[in-house]
Structure 1
Amino acid sequence: MMASVSNIAFPSLVGVPLDTHALSKQIKNKASCGFRLHRNPNYSVRLSPICCKLPESGIEENPTTTSKRPPKSKDRMEEYNIAMKRMMRNPYEYHHDLGMNYTLVTDNLIVGSQPQKPKDIDHLKKEEGVAYILNLQQDKDVEYWGIDLQSIIRRCHELEISHMRRPAKDFDPDSLRSELPKAVSSLEWAISEGKGRVYVHCQSTAGLGRAPAVTIAYLFWFCVMNLNTAYDMLTSKRPCGPNKRAIRGATYDLAKNDPWKEPFENLPEYAFEDIADWERNLIQNRVRSLRGT
């Protein structure tokens, strides 16, 4: 029996408690960041709904036949999850067969997995008011999962959704560190345009590496939060394991002008978890200067 198409919402079960009073004091630029604690009666402040749009084919509940060898899609998921757990040192898994999965992080920002078909774009437009999609996948990621990216881009164009790409290597902190400024530049521009929500995705169910890292960096640099506050805010809504060191490294790269500065690798683990106002202004100006590059 095949399950029918449906949208499922379930609360995050792994979260970091938020000090909402302290958090609200740090949010000064509300118009730009669009941040607001959602008072959904079905969830507490610590729990945020994660939406999952099941694929059209549904899920086979009681298969009558079994195969000695798992299908290629299952092989791919197993290989990907083994690599992810080894490289990122976290327990999370990606289940491609469950379809698109995402979480509303702020009023105008969504973090999620890859749209798999044009109908996913229809859903994001109609149900979530998405006007921009920021895709952090490399071409090989798209090919690996068998996604017809051109059909997705065409549907975005038909629905007047801006589709942006800022590729970064999966499981690669150095690539993430170097690509973060440009990715955050695209994200900040889209949010500042104010025409609709921005959907940020890499490929995994939780956006386990690149998408949440870009979102956290944006919250850190543009929403007057320190890194730990931004990190806790996102991971409390959506369990994931983005690379905090890569964000600290990108912050260091943007904030320092001195060519004789001490190498980032020599700094203590807490370095650049917070920044002075002048450093944040410098970072914002440098990130904005990357628009269109």
Structure 2
Amino acid sequence: MAAIDLCSPSFKSSSFQRFRGEKASICLVYGRALAKDNRKRAATCNASNSSPGGVRSGSRRSRMEDYNTAMKKMMRNPYEYHHDLGMNYNIISDDLVVGSQPQKPEDIYHLKEEGVAYILCLQQDKDIEYWDIDFASIAKSCSNVGVHHMRRPARDFDPNSLRSQLPKAVSSLEWAISDGKGRVYVHCTAGLGRAPAVAIAYMFWFCDMNLDTAYNKLTSKRPCGPNKTSIRGATYDLAKNDPWKEPFESLPEYAFNDIADWERKLIKDRVRELRGT
């Protein structure tokens, strides 16, 4: 089944039901071998079966355990990141891919083969250092194969940091999709919080969906638990900037799950104004 355009009328339909009931197919990529289920383009993929060099297995296991413990505590979801299985991602549409951090240059070559022309990284420097990723080699590989690399750092497990960084991150994503030279790969560390939140916010603000629809569409393809309140808060920040506005924290939980047409236009304009900042 062909990938769906996120902004197409068929994708926005409220009757859309997970590709008409088909189960999501999962494919594992070891090295450069890719087994694809042609019935399902929204596939979960795992690339780069080896771990970063120089990290002992015990240390690697401890890091994963510590990371997953923190993720469960702060995000309150059951999802886990398994660094030792390599980069993993989901094709969300013809122009958008969401996943975990590239771990080595070969991952960039693999993404290039998948049609990726832009990478949007949400990690801070300390995230990259924690996993002993050689970022210089990642950046060099991007340059070598013509992949445009962008960074919009947000603090991991911090909903306030995510809220404040979403507008600029979505601005970069919207620019890349509009530039149209290939797919955009959006990643954080695990690809379960910051990166999917950016993709969902883009779908909400630019694809005429409400938040619940955008959230469900992405999580039906990539099971994850991004912070919905952060997305609502960023939406509020963009749509309501008058000095007499009611504090976001005092609003009901459903506030800014949807927006009026004039609010969406205002948000689009303000997000686009952030390009290059």
Q: TM-score range by the shorter chain?
A: 0.7 to 0.9
Q: 2-side partners of 1:270 and 1:132: how far apart?
A: 34
Q: Give the match for residue 222 of structure 2.
A: 238
Structure 1 unaligned spans of 5+: 1-19, 27-36, 58-68
Task: State whether residues 23 and 229 of structure 1, in contact with CA within 8 Å, keep that contact through their aligned partners in structure 2.
Answer: no
**How far apart are residue 135 of structure 1 and its match?**
0.4
Task: State whether residues 98 and 185 of structure 2, in contact with CA within 8 Å, keep that contact through their aligned partners in structure 1.
Answer: yes
- State whether structure 2 residue 125 is matched by structure 1 residue 139: yes
Using structure 2 for the length normalisation, give the TM-score.
Answer: 0.85
Cα-to-partner distance string for 1:97-136 (whole Å, 9 max, x where unaligned): 000000001110000000000010000001x110000000
Please show how residues 100-115 of structure 1 align to structure 2 within 5 Å: 100-115=87-102
**How far apart are residue 233 of structure 1 and its match?**
0.2
Say if 1:254 and 1:159 are closer, same or farther in 2 by CA, change over 3 A. same
**How far apart are residue 208 of structure 1 and its match?**
1.1
Corresponding residue pairs, total: 251
What SS does the aligned partner of 1:131 have? strand
Say if 1:113 and 1:70 are closer, same or farther in 2 by CA, change over 3 A. closer
Using structure 1 for the length normalisation, give the TM-score.
Answer: 0.81
Residue type of the alignment partner of 2:177? I
- State whether structure 2 residue 110 is matched by structure 1 residue 123: yes
Residue type of the alignment partner of 1:24? K
What SS does the aligned partner of 2:203 have? helix
Please show how residues 2-17 of structure 1 align to structure 2 within 5 Å: none
Identity %: 69
What is the aligned-residue RMSD (CA, Å)? 2.5
- State whether structure 2 residue 90 is matched by structure 1 residue 79: no
Cα-to-partner distance string for 1:7-41 (whole Å, 9 max, x where unaligned): xxxxxxxxxxxxx9874348xxxxxxxxxx69999
Q: 2-side partners of 1:177 and 1:239: how far apart?
A: 21
1:24 to 12, 22, 27: 12
Residue type of the alignment partner of 1:264? F
Say if 1:42 and 1:170 are closer, same or farther in 2 by CA, change over 3 A. same
- State whether structure 2 residue 163 is matched by structure 1 residue 154: no
- State whether structure 2 residue 173 is matched by structure 1 residue 187: yes
Quick check: which has more Rg, 1 or 2?
1
Please show how residues 14-93 of structure 1 align to structure 2 within 5 Å: 23-25=11-13, 42=37, 48-56=42-50, 71-93=58-80
Structure 2 unaligned spans of 5+: 1-7, 26-35
